[in-house]
Amino acid sequence: MSDLPAHTADDDWRSSLTQALGVLVGRPLADFAPDAQYAAYYSGNWLHETESYRDPEWLEPAALTGRTSVSNENLLLLDEIGYPELRFDASRSLFEIDTPAAFPAAFAEDLSAVSLSGPDDLPIVRGADLARSTARHGVDLTSADLPEGTWSLVMAAIVSDGTLPDALRVATGIGEGPDTLVRCAEGGTEVEAAIAAVEHAGIRAHLRAFCDPDSHDLALCPHDMRESGNEDGALVAKWEGAVDQYVITVQRVGP
């Protein structure tokens, strides 16, 4: 009897999904750094227009440390039946601290040390780093004693496992298996040509909603993606939703 692991339907699903997502981004996923960390983000004007960017739920200790996820009924991939509710990971999300001078100097120094922005810009920090700094210095960002607009969410990380296939999976509204696929109506010639090489018929139909650069619902941005690939940039995939109201990106976020 062989001691090799048995081939399973899960293996077929993962292989099909990996192949399809490679078609979508224009490169086999094996071409990307296999050991890097990746994340899918939701950002853009819609965070502000719905006031989601200042929802105190993002700063709940359990959310900011990644123990629980955050949901928000205003933040959707597509406003159509069948797509899963987006779940967000506040620990991997990015926050801007608007008034660092309002805090104790040691806290401001902590933020500066972990900031992802330039030295002359306001600190932008990951939620997990923000959780550690606030706990260390006893800072409550929701305190009424702080100036209004002390903090804001700038990029909400959609829950994923840190791999590229999973970040692309959640960015395209695909659940854990083939029963989560949404069958979209056939698109124009350009749409069908863009996904013609996708081998799995169900995934091919689902991705019709995510491969059209002219869509008014969720437009793929192939120019930005190609530029990033040519320059070995962090951006892997990008969509603009509701005519530039929100942006979904998949990015490399760590080595």
Is pLDDT at 161 greater than 90 in this prediction? yes
Looking at residue 132, what is its pLDDT?
95
Looking at residue 6, what is its pLDDT?
57
Residue 43 to residue 173: CA distance in whole angstroms:
16
CB 128 within 8 Å of CB 91: yes
Q: What is the pLDDT of residues 182-203, one digit of tens each?
A: 999 888 899 999 999 999 999 9
Is pLDDT at 2 greater than 80 in this prediction? no
Is pLDDT at 100 greater than 80 in this prediction? no
Could you tell me the pLDDT band of residue 119, with boundaries at 50, 70 and 90? confident
Residue 210 to residue 75: CA distance in whole angstroms:
17
